Amino acid sequence: MIAVIQRVTEARVVVAGSIVGQIGPGMLVLAAVHADDSADDIVWTANKLVSLRIFRNGEKHFDYDIRQIKGSMLLVSNFTVAGQTRKGRRPSLDAAAPPDVGGKLFGDLVRAVQAVGIPVATGQFGADMRVWLANDGPVTFIVDSRESRTPGAIATGTDR
């Protein structure tokens, strides 16, 4: 799973003119399931997202995690994040999971984050969405569960 995460003061997702998900301070996550992702990738990603220290503590810019600030997470499925742009001018989406697999594993990610007590809002899987955010910083990172597959990586997502 690959995710673009942004520290936000607020974010929302609109589908067909209606807000379907909205948060205050926390994290906006645009997540894509890869075709070869498994339950281990979901667990690793969920743990990484909730433990990543990207929030301010006074003068320290990256000291607190989302639990410590009592923040929320807006999880938005976005298969284009898995797009590859190495060749040509049109991104290849071959690495993205098919919709049935992507939808199931994305739902598993939502439940895994909720299970540790983080308030979660979502977009609408497969819908044409408009995402609005106020990026705080701006702070933006990429989290990729394939990094956990390298020798020496810690599978829990809390490797630091």
pLDDT per position as a tens digit, 88-107: 999 999 999 999 999 999 99
pLDDT, position 151:
63
* Residues counted in the chain: 160
pLDDT, position 153:
54
pLDDT, position 159:
45
The gap from C-alpha 120 to its chain's centroid, in whole angstroms, comes to 11
Give the count of alpha carbons within 13 A of 43, CB side only. Answer: 7
* Amino acid symbol at 41: D
pLDDT, position 148:
80
Q: Average pLDDT, stretch 58-67? A: 95
Q: For the chain, what are the domain ranges?
A: 2-149
Q: How many helices (H) and strands (E) does the chain have?
A: 2, 8
Please name the CATH architecture into which domain 2-149 falls: 3-Layer(bba) Sandwich (3.50)
Say if CB 81 and CB 131 are below 8 A apart. no
Structure tokens at 41: 């990738």
| Confidence at 2, pLDDT banded by 50, 70, 90 | very high
121-135 confidence digits (pLDDT tens)? 999 999 999 999 999
In this prediction the pTM is 0.91
pLDDT, position 147:
84
- Token match 């607020």: residue? 10
Q: Average pLDDT, stretch 36-62? A: 96
What is residue 147's DSSP assignment? Answer: G
